[in-house]
Structure 1
Amino acid sequence: MADLLIISSSIVRPVNNSRSGRAKIHLTPFDLTQLQYDYPQRGLLFPKPDPNFDLISRLKASLSVALETYFPFAGRLVKVENLEDNSASFYIDCDGSGSRFLHAEAKSISVSDFLQPDGSVPNFIKLFFPADDFKSCDGVLEPLLALQVTEMKDGVFIGFCYNHLVADGASMWNFFHTWSKICSSGSVSSDHQPLILKGWFLDGINYPIHIPVSETERSQPSRELSSVASTKDRVFHFTKKNISDLKAKANSEVDSSDLKISSIQAVSAHMWRSIIRHSGLSRERETHCKVAVDLRQRLNPPLEKDCFGNMAYLSSAIATVEELLDRGLGWAALQINKVVKSQTNENCKTFAEDWIRNVKNLKVGVGGRTDGDTIVVASSPRFEVYNNDFGWGKPIAARAGPGNSISGKLVFFPGIEEGTIDVQATLWSHVLVNLLADVEFVEHVTIA
């Protein structure tokens, strides 16, 4: 295990912090479905800055400025007990309590230790993230955003985790980009726009939403999920040619001239089929591919494209193992395509109304299926990841942390070369071994 030393832990509050006049953010059914989800954890690896660069003080000062604009990250989750019906309600109080900032050192770790040539993710990476077991419901006590800056022998890693009730990946990366620009330039740019809250609630649904108290109590991970040794992480790189070939193959197998399979759908289908092929499931078994869908532009009227909040919803494509393996890449990609397209304004409204009438299984969370039958496609290669320069150079790698680490979690990042995709996969060890020996899988992915 790597030697990592926490140098300091502090709370960074918005500059010119005022608790008056801040927003109270009510939570939608799409937010509350994630009450028991772990905080997503992501991070970027940077080269080492010049010794004269005042790293920690500049990062903390610019973070304070960024939090003035992105004030929900400095708030807290509030839980209200409704004694009249034995339920609880939640909202985000943008009270300026602040975000956690950790400064750590791992002087024995080098960039080459971190970036394995075969794409393996070393076990010590979990130490580079600021939280091990935060769930969204913990936001009543824990910050909604935590960051850890780890100084390495020849690099710096900035890891973060955030509460999914307050934001999704799109909002988080927009914040991160703003923070980096402030740190690099020393001030907020003149063209910077004030934060636009999603300000959205479905007609006919009253808030705050009441949830049975039994569903709001913190769930504990199963023994299977808490076994660190049972899963391994690997980064698979898809070049432009890999992606082009998969996309062409998928579209050639889809019998429709007006329907096009996207690059992300083709890569997701390839990962889904390949992983399930080695999961040891019976051919009659149902398998799921859960895809995070951004709802902003799917509502009527649509929301602002860059509005802040959580507007991601996990939607499931479902197939039997027999269908998935026998009907080809195009058929699998088509199932993903259909489930993404099904997220219309009307379907969102129906889901929300049904969910409120029958709130259940919140404790299942993202890790509810632990027996290898589910793939979860998280994050997006469309997020702005490599264009984040804090003043000493752009990132050289992106990684995901241990949150929601069930076997089958796939975190999509853009590759460092434009038009490429990196997929960080968390898999049972035996599934990974078989996957790497699968000629059909490795034909369309670059491993070394």
Structure 2
Amino acid sequence: MADLVIISSSIVRPVINSQLGRTKIHLTPFDLTHLQYDYPQRGLLFPKPDPDFHLISRLKTSLSLALETYFPFAGRLVKVENPEDNSVSFFIDCDGSGARFLHAEAKSVSVSDFLQPDGSVPSFIQHFFPADDIKSSDGVSEPLLALQVTEVKDGVFIGFCYNHMVADGASMWSFFHTWSKICSSGSGSDHQPLILKGWFLDGIDYPIHILVSETERPQPRRELSPVAVTKDRVFHFTKKNISDLKAKANTELGSSELKISSVQAVSAHMWRSIIKHGGLSREKQTHCKVAVDLRQRLNPPLGKECFGNMAYLSSAIATVEELLDRGLGWAALQINKVVKSQTNENCKTFAADWIKNVKNLKLGVGGRVAGDTIVIASSPRFEVYNNDFGWGKPIAARAGPGNSISGKLVFFPGIDEGSIDVQATLWSDVLVNLLADVEFVEYVTTV
């Protein structure tokens, strides 16, 4: 364990917090599916700033300015009881309560400890994130955004977590980039006002009522084996790796009209390779859950920059036999079809059906622990390495322990243009077999 000490914990509020006409954000079925998900946790490793930079005071001052624009992150989740039908409802109250800010030190840790040459992620990294088992439903008492700035021997790690019902990865990284620009420039006056998603499906009344029994905090999940252990490893796909995978997938499909994307090719390679070593029977059904941004898939479409949660997990399904025997192109095609199927009509149908039969909220993202599912989180399209707070750009990006099940894959852009990093959480035995798989490692390098 890293020798980490919390120096201070405080609440940072927006610079201006007018209670007049404060915003209430109602939650859609797409938001509420995240009710029992852990807060997503991400972080960036930076070089060490000069001592005269006044790191903590500048970060807190600029955070206060950033929260003035991104005011939903400074709010709280409100739960309303509906005794007439034994249900509850939720909304976000943008009351300016503020975000949590932790300042920590780990003087025995250096940048090289983070950046293992084989791509392994050290276990101590979990202490560099500001949350432990906080779920979206806990937003009634916990801040909707928490940040931890940890000073190490020769660098700084900024870890954060956020309530997934308030925002998705696209909105979170937009906030983070704005915060970094304010810190670097010292001014928050030139940023555009926030555009809330302002969208609710026609014909659906809100607030949505959910049975009390479905909102109770789930029991800790039972692992498959008392000795089962997951480990994290970062796999680096170079621009050439990705080009080769795309070419292989598209050649196998043999269609000039259909084009498999970079993310789909990499996702399919990870899906097939992980399942191959999962010890499942050939007739077992497997799932590849992909987060799809719905903004441009609605009719009329929403603005690409609108703030909120518009991510929806949709599953590509295949048996082990199909996945392994039909090739990379076929697997990528299943993911391609799932992404394309997320249309305006599909969204309407999902939302209407979900409201009629609200269930399985307590499963969260870790509902499957049998090794038959991979979950693709985040995106290499997010602006990660262009965040400079005034003393240099990030050295590396890492994901925290939230929603850590075997098969969780967090995609980041690689630090080299056109590359992709995948932080994989896997059972130890699966990881060992994966690293020994010539067909898998042909297309990846460790970082």
Mark yes or no: TM-score above 0.5: yes
The Cα shift of 1:228 comes to: 9.8
Given the alignment of the two structures, is residue 440 of structure 1 paired with residue 439 of structure 2, yes or no? yes
Residue in 2 that maps onto 1:400:
399
Q: TM-score, normalised by structure 1?
A: 0.98
Q: Secondary structure at the residue paired with 1:388?
A: coil
2:155 equivalent in structure 1: 155
Paired with 2:199 and 2:179, the residues of 1 have a C-alpha distance of 26
Between the aligned partners of 1:290 and 1:199, the Cα distance in structure 2 is 26
Equivalent in the alignment of 1:3: 3
Aligned match of 2:25: 25
> Is the contact between residue 288 and residue 374 of structure 1 (CA under 8 Å) also seen in structure 2?
yes
CA distance in 2, matches of 1:105, 1:31: 35
The residue number in structure 1 matching 2:371 is 372
1:117-128 to 2 correspondences below 5 Å? 117-128=117-128
Shift in Å at residue 19 of structure 1? 2.3
Change (3 A) 1:228 1:120: farther
* 1:258 alignment partner AA: E
Q: Distance in 2 between matches of 1:377 and 1:225?
A: 22
* 2:241 alignment counterpart: 242
Instruction: Give how far 1:220 is off.
Output: 2.5
Query: How far off its partner does 1:258 sit?
Result: 1.2
User: What secondary structure is seen at the aligned counterpart in 2 of 1:89?
Assistant: strand
What does residue 357 of structure 1 align with?
356
Deviation at 1:186, TM superposition (A): 0.2
- 1:18 CA displacement: 1.9
Percent identity, aligned pairs only, is 88
Equivalent residue letter for 1:344: T
The aligned residue for residue 314 of structure 1 is 313
Using the TM superposition, give the Cα deviation of residue 221 of structure 1 relative to its aligned residue in structure 2, in angstroms: 2.2
Q: 2:300 & 2:430 partners in 1: Cα distance?
A: 44
Q: Root-mean-square deviation (CA), in Å? A: 1.2
Q: What one-letter code is carried by the residue in structure 2 that aligns with 1:72?
A: P
- The code of the aligned residue for 2:284 comes to R
Paired residue for 1:419? 418
What is the 5 A alignment of 1:34-433? 34-188=34-188, 190=190, 192-224=191-223, 230-433=229-432
Deviation string 1:163-216 (CA, Å, 9 cap, x unpaired) is 0000000000000000000000000253x2110000000100110000010011
Segments of structure 1 that go 5 or more residues without pairing to the other structure are none
Retained in 2: the 8 A contact 1:225–1:406? no
Structure 2: gaps of 5 or more residues = none
Cα distance in structure 2, aligned partners of 1:291 and 1:210: 27
| Distance change (3 Å), C-alpha of 1:154 and 1:225 | farther
What's the secondary structure of 1:301's corresponding residue?
coil
TM-score (norm 2): 0.99
Call closer, same or farther: CA 1:327–1:275 in 2, change over 3 Å.
same
- Residues 238-259 of structure 1, C-alpha deviation per residue, up to 9 Å, x if partnerless? 0000000000000111142211
Contact 2:272 2:328 in 1 (8 A): yes
Conserved 8 A contact 1:130-1:146: yes
CA separation in 1, counterparts of 2:151 and 2:192? 32
How many residues are aligned here? Answer: 447
Please state whether the residue corresponding to 1:253 is helix, strand or coil: helix
Distance 1:251 1:299 in 2: 28
Deviation at 1:73, TM superposition (A): 0.1
- What secondary structure sits across from 1:52 in the alignment? helix
Q: Distance in 2 between matches of 1:172 and 1:270?
A: 28
